[in-house]
């Protein structure tokens, strides 16, 4: 079977081509892609900020319909609507065995279709995945919103990094889609979230969703109101602004957590006073991707709360329009762009 796919051939260079889909092996499923979110990572690959081998096919926020499956597959049937956990976890490495399969050392080993590297290959009419990578959508979840399952699962992994309790307060730096998904998950846990973002339109959008939004320069005046002045229980950094990381130590209470959600491009050193960590027992941690369990939880959440998240998909494009889209950076009222097939 042939599939039309957007192939990135170099920095800022892409073309739609037909690729030959491979025969299904045992436990494999052919999914007709119906929606695929455009992640910042995809944009950074296109602009060369993130270096990957080319030619390649991006797109890892995928939802679609099961169209063909090997008869050994039991989890889904033809016609089922699914979201895809596109990480191909090996299940046997040190990290997989220890329940940290988001860090699987074999997951990113060069999978290819013809000459094209797959990261993960959702910008294509069809995609082949293993049975363990499909999760069935329930409750009439629109496919457009289902593309948010992957980003939601990564935010879920991030929120779990802080030991949050009912009634806690968190600060989220960055009012993009990831920041808002963090706030949504916090709310689910009975945690109050404040999002800081320098853009007026972003803050208005966030307030409309029912979350508190402030300007970055207002953070310091808010801290005295949080936890009797001790500071936030956790701070999540979802915008790539490296110079704010050191400063967040002053916003978090003792034994609180600072989570570096976003990667930095280019990366750099942190300017942090060692003793400010020593005396306060503050924890600074990264968060990478999601585990299979995070993905399962995110699929259930999307199935139950897709109406709350629908407004985050602010633009839809066709595969033909994706080339132009990849060169843009969403600002203001723009949140997630989803490619619809
Ligand atoms: Zn992503
Ligand atoms: Zn592994």
Mark out the alpha helices in 261-291 (DSSP H runs): 274-280
Share of the chain above pLDDT 70, in %: 100
pLDDT given for residue 146 in this prediction: 98
Fold of 162-286: Rossmann fold (3.40.50)
Ligand nearest to the CA of 153: 1
**Domain-wise residue ranges, the chain:** 2-152+290-340, 162-286
Tell how far the Cα of 7 is from the centroid of ligand 2, in angstroms: 28
Of the candidates 311, 297, 300, 250, the one whose C-alpha atom is nearest the C-alpha of residue 277 is 250
CB 157 within 8 A of CB 182: no
Rounded CA separation 276/280 (Å): 6
Cis peptide leading into residue 120 (ω within 30°): yes
Please write the tens of the pLDDT for every residue from 192-227. 999 999 999 999 999 999 999 999 999 999 999 999
Tell how far the Cα of 329 is from the centroid of ligand 1, in angstroms: 14
Fold of 2-152+290-340: Quinone Oxidoreductase; Chain A, domain 1 (3.90.180)
pTM attached to this predicted model: 0.96
Tell how far the Cα of 196 is from the centroid of ligand 2, in angstroms: 36
Q: What is the arithmetic mean of pLDDT over 124-141?
A: 95
Tell how far the Cα of 153 is from the centroid of ligand 1, in angstroms: 10
Tell how far the Cα of 106 is from the centroid of ligand 2, in angstroms: 5
Q: What is the arithmetic mean of pLDDT over 234-261?
A: 95
- Work out the pLDDT band at 257, boundaries 50, 70, 90: very high
- Work out the pLDDT band at 71, boundaries 50, 70, 90: confident
- Work out the pLDDT band at 58, boundaries 50, 70, 90: very high
> Per-residue pLDDT for 273 more than 80?
yes
């Amino acid at each position: 079977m042939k599939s039309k796919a957007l192939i990135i051939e170099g920095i800022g260079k892409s073309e739609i081509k037909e690729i030959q889909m491979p025969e299904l092996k045992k436990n494999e499923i052919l999914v007709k892609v119906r929606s695929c979110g455009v992640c910042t990572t995809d944009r950074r690959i296109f602009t060369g900020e993130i270096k990957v081998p080319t030619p390649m096919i991006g797109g890892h926020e995928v939802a679609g319909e099961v169209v063909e499956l090997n008869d050994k597959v039991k989890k889904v049937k033809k016609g089922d609507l699914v979201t895809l956990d596109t990480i191909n976890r090996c299940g046997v490495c040190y990290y997989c065995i220890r329940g940290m399969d988001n860090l699987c050392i074999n997951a990113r080993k060069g999978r290819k279709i013809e000459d094209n590297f797959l990261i993960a290959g959702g910008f294509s009419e069809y995609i082949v995945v293993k049975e363990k990578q499909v999760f069935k959508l329930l409750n009439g979840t629109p496919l457009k919103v289902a593309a948010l399952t992957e980003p939601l699962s990564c935010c879920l992994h991030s929120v779990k990094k802080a030991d949050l309790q009912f009634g806690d307060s968190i600060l989220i730096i960055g009012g993009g889609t990831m920041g808002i998904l963090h706030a949504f998950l916090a709310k689910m846990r009975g945690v109050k979230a404040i999002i800081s973002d320098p853009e007026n339109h972003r803050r208005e959008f966030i307030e409309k969703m029912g979350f508190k939004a402030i300007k970055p320069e207002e953070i310091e005046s808010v801290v005295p109101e949080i936890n009797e002045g001790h500071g936030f229980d956790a701070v999540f950094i979802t915008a790539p602004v490296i110079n704010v990381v050191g400063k967040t130590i002053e916003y978090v209470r003792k034994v609180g957590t600072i989570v570096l959600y976003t990667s930095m491009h280019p990366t750099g050193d942190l300017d942090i006073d060692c003793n400010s960590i020593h005396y306060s027992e503050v924890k600074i941690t990264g968060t990478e991707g999601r585990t299979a369990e995070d993905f399962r939880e995110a699929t259930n959440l999307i199935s139950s709360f897709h109406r709350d998240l629908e407004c985050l998909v602010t633009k839809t494009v066709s595969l033909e329009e994706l080339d132009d889209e990849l060169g843009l950076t969403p600002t203001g009222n723009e949140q997630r762009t989803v490619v619809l097939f």
